[in-house]
Amino acid sequence: MALDSLKTDGFKQIGTRPNRPDGLDKVTGRALYGADVTAPGMLWGVIVRSPHAHAKIVKIDTSKAEAMDGVKAVVTRADFSDAIQPAAGPRGEMWNVLENVMAGDKALYDGHAVAAVAATSQLAARDAAKAIVVEYEVLPHVTDVDKAMAADAPVIREGATEKSVPEGMHPNVVRYHESGHGDLEAGFAEADLVIEDTFKTEATHQGYIEPHACLGTLGGDGKGELWCCTQGHWNVQKVCAALLGLETSQLRVTASEIGGGFGGKTAVFIEPVALALSRKANKPVKIVMNRADVFRATGPTASTSMDIKIGMKKDGTITAASGLFRCQGGAFPGAPMEFTAMCAFAPYNLQAVKQTGFDVMTNRPKQAAYRAPGSPMAAFAVESVIDQLCNQLGLDPIDTRLKNASREGTQASFGPKWDRIGLVETLEAAKAHPHYSEPLKEGQGRGVSCGFWFNHGGETAVSLALSEDGTVQLAVGTPDIGGSRASMAMMAAEELGIPYENVRCTIADTATLGYNEISHGSRVTYASGLATIKAARDAVKKLCARAAAKWGIEEDAVKWEDGCAVPSGPNAGDHEPLPLAKITAKMGATGGPIVGHFEATPEGAGVSFATHIVDAEVDKETGKTTISRYTVVQDAGKAIHPTYVEGQFQGGAAQGIGWALNEEYIYGEDGRLQNAGFLDYRIPVASDLPMIDAVIVEVPNPGHPYGVRGVGETSICPPLAAIANAVSAAAGVRLKQLPMSPPRILAALGTHD
């Protein structure tokens, strides 16, 4: 797509901080989330899940449940499409989704769905689910990434391996990535200090507070309606249609308000089950997951095991770097190891670099995207080694990063040369921030880290309809996960030259717009924002045409200024500015409704870098860490609504703090998840955190009309490493495994053995 000239200042709306349009509904309890709607005659669905990590499903006896009062339908795998077949690689992904939604021959992890029941109340459905008897033949299991690659590991599924995987590897290794450039050997030989180390991270869950919920109706005529909390309802439509053998357009999906997603609601879990139950019972079916099932059966991020080797000269120049990244993503291919590999060394301009990634299957739930999938773990490993090098060579961590920083025109670790990027600007802003020069108190340590994420564009369709009174109905297709309706309305108002309040932005259902890719990849403000601007410009063109017709001049003799059509120059004649509302008031009689459109796949999502500074204190007697100060510096390209940008920065940092210190999936020897609840899956609570300072750097993205870069994901990339560096400094010992829980810190300190 050809890009127009970049506008980065002189804005009336952009950069202001208006109230969000969904604010009132959300503070009064009126906003409707996934579980908040009902339908007449509605049934409740409950899913029966495997208690085993790996087991053959011998028999499912549903007779007792079916005989119970109020039970209207039971479904198993037989109630889903048999047209979807397994295959290696992305071609097999729909089968993987089906297999995850409802197990076939085998249960592949603790929590894997094996059957479902619908009944007249939630309690009746729960009672019936308990009455479904599943006979299992338990199989050997493996849940650890390194153990799953060992020769004696049980094979989770034959035939899932892509051709790219080198020969001789265990069948659980299903995908492989290798990239880089330069002569590693020569690079390491040039170094004054080479550090080689191994790091591990545990799987963490996105931890959204709203469990997955949906309400589906599907008739025998193949027509369906679905309400659900999702980051992408067109994807839900596509997947449900495939899994149930429907025509896609016969299923209309409406996205509810979404109570957090962070990547975890890009996947489909319960929606096809509700529709299958509905088809069988011929009634609407609502399914609301309970929290334990959210942890057991929806996507956590990958766990990793990583080997890093970096060489540095005494002056801080990195001479060579290599990394080996093993990522476990559950019983299906898809762990984001290629992103782990490609993001690992992205902040650095390296003469010699190599990154290798392995996607490994284990008996765990199918991983789902989590905020910059794969990147935070890589940053943890790489930035920890950079920190060690700086410490041992007596170098300032920010100066050293600046010395090696990727800039426009340098070659990225994954190949291409960088376009305009803002890493250096974030490092300089971090260095200048008062936090960086504040003296540390006794017992505190300070850590710094950079982080990188690609960001994404994706299929986008927007429709902007003008009302007779001159107000605007803006329909976008990307569920609002962070305040995007406000940002979209601001961009539309900016282009149209009308007040922000005159634009009502709604998230359209799948019947209303063309395909919109999921709200992921930090794409919404970038892509839907670009689409909104283009749709507004399309509407402006049509408005100008109406003015031209009224004035009897050429269309290109009219321009748009401050919400009015005006003659473009003295030759166009002397006409009073014609405000938008005056044109729309007569539009029925001057050519009909005026609607601006944009449908395309924007290909200019600018990448984003961040630098974080953290101070931590460690109680050396108990191993407990306190985060005492936190500063986020990140390149937003252009902040449309700065308050919401700050919110993304702060939220990413807080999730990173949880990941670094306490959050982890804990599996027992039996392969069962031991902490499937917020009691023992410990996300940060209000009293755990300090205020989080958010500094917005703006290095415009040439791929967006206003320079916007996505901001949602990069904020979770630096925290793990920044905190590990701070904790290691405070404790006086290097922490190489996440989470840095108190027992791990005490063990590292050698306080007990």
Partner 1 sequence: MSKVHVTTHINGDEVDFLCDPRETVLDVLRDRLGMTGAKEGCGTGDCGACSVTVDGRLVCSCLMLGVEAAGKEITTVEGIATEAELHPLQQKFIEYAALQCGICTPGILVAAKNLLERNPDPTESEVRYWLAGNLCRCTGYDKIIRAVMDTAADMREAS
Partner 2 sequence: MSLKPVVKIHLWSGLRAFTGGEDVVEVEAATIGELLNGLVARHPGLEDIVESGVSVAIDGKVIASGLSEAVAPENEIWLMQRLKGG
Partner 3 sequence: MQYHSPTSFSDAVSIAAEAQGTTRFLAGGTDVLVQLRSDLVEPDTLIDIKHIDGTHDIVQNADGSWTLGVAVTGAEMSEHAELCAQWPGLVEAMDLIGSTQVQGRATLTGNLCNGSPAADSVPAMFAAGVTVSVTGPDGTRQVPVDQIPAGPGKTNLAKGELISAVHVPARGTGGGDAYLRFIPRTEMDIAVVGCGVNLRVEGDTITEACVSLGAVAPTVLLVEDAAKALIGSTLDDAALDKLAAAAAAACNPISDKRGTIEFRTHVAGVLAKRAAKIAYDRAKG
Burial string for 667-699 (b: 16+ CB within 10 Å, else e) reads: beeebbbebbeeeebbbbeeebbeebbbbbbbb
Residue closer to partner 1, measured from CB, 322 or 648: 648
**Least Å distance between CB 747 and partner 3?**
7
Binding at 119: pick from partner 2, partner 3, partner 1, none (beta carbon under 5-8 Å per type): none
Cβ pair 597, 462 in contact under 8 A: yes
| CA angle, 266 then 271 then 272, to 5° | 115
Binding at 418: pick from partner 3, partner 2, partner 1, none (beta carbon under 5-8 Å per type): partner 2
Task: Write the DSSP assignment of 375-398 as a string of letters.
Answer: HHHHHHHHHHHHHHHHHHHT--HH
HSE-up (13 A, CA, CB side) for residue 238: 14
Of these, 83, 189, 209, 666, which contacts partner 1 (CB under 8 A)? 209
Binding at 38: pick from partner 2, partner 3, partner 1, none (beta carbon under 5-8 Å per type): partner 1
Which of 343, 401, 301 is closest to 656 using CA atoms? Answer: 301
**Using the rule CB under 8 A, is 650 a contact of partner 1?**
yes
Cβ pair 456, 605 in contact under 8 A: yes
**Least Å distance between CB 563 and partner 2?**
34
Residue closer to partner 3, measured from CB, 307 or 688: 688
Stretch that binds partner 3, among 63-71, 448-456, 467-475, 671-679 (CB under 8 A): 671-679
**Least Å distance between CB 101 and partner 2?**
20
Cβ pair 573, 553 in contact under 8 A: yes
**Least Å distance between CB 40 and partner 2?**
37
CB count in 10 Å sphere of residue 277: 31
Binding at 371: pick from partner 1, partner 3, partner 2, none (beta carbon under 5-8 Å per type): partner 2
Give kind and range of the element (H or E) at residue 218.
strand 213-218
Which of 530, 421, 538, 426 is closest to 484 using CA atoms? Answer: 530
Of these, 146, 169, 624, 733, which contacts partner 3 (CB under 8 A)? 624
**Using the rule CB under 8 A, is 458 a contact of partner 2?**
yes
- List binders of partner 3 among 97-126 (CB under 8 A): 126
- List binders of partner 3 among 231-290 (CB under 8 A): 290
**Using the rule CB under 8 A, is 477 a contact of partner 2?**
no
**Using the rule CB under 8 A, is 682 a contact of partner 3?**
yes
Site string for partner 2, 344-373 (x = CB under 8 A): ----------x-x-----------xxxxxx
Binding at 140: pick from partner 3, partner 1, partner 2, none (beta carbon under 5-8 Å per type): none
Phi, psi for residue 317 in degrees, rounded to 5? -70, 125
Cβ pair 287, 227 in contact under 8 A: no
Which of 286, 274, 283, 263 is closest to 239 using CA atoms? Answer: 274
233-244 and 93-101 helices, crossing angle to 10°: 80
**Least Å distance between CB 28 and partner 1?**
6
Q: How far is CA 611 from the centre of its chain?
A: 19
Of these, 1, 3, 9, 26, which contacts partner 1 (CB under 8 A)? 26
Report the chain's terminal Cα–Cα distance, integer Å: 61
- Contact residues toward partner 2 (CB under 8 A) are 88-91, 162-164, 166, 176-180, 206, 262-264, 266, 338, 342, 354, 356, 368-373, 408, 412, 414-419, 453-458, 520-523, 601, 603-605, 607, 703, 710, 713
- Contact residues toward partner 3 (CB under 8 A) are 126, 130, 290, 292, 621-624, 661-662, 666, 674-675, 678-680, 682, 684-685, 687-688, 741-743, 746-747, 751-753
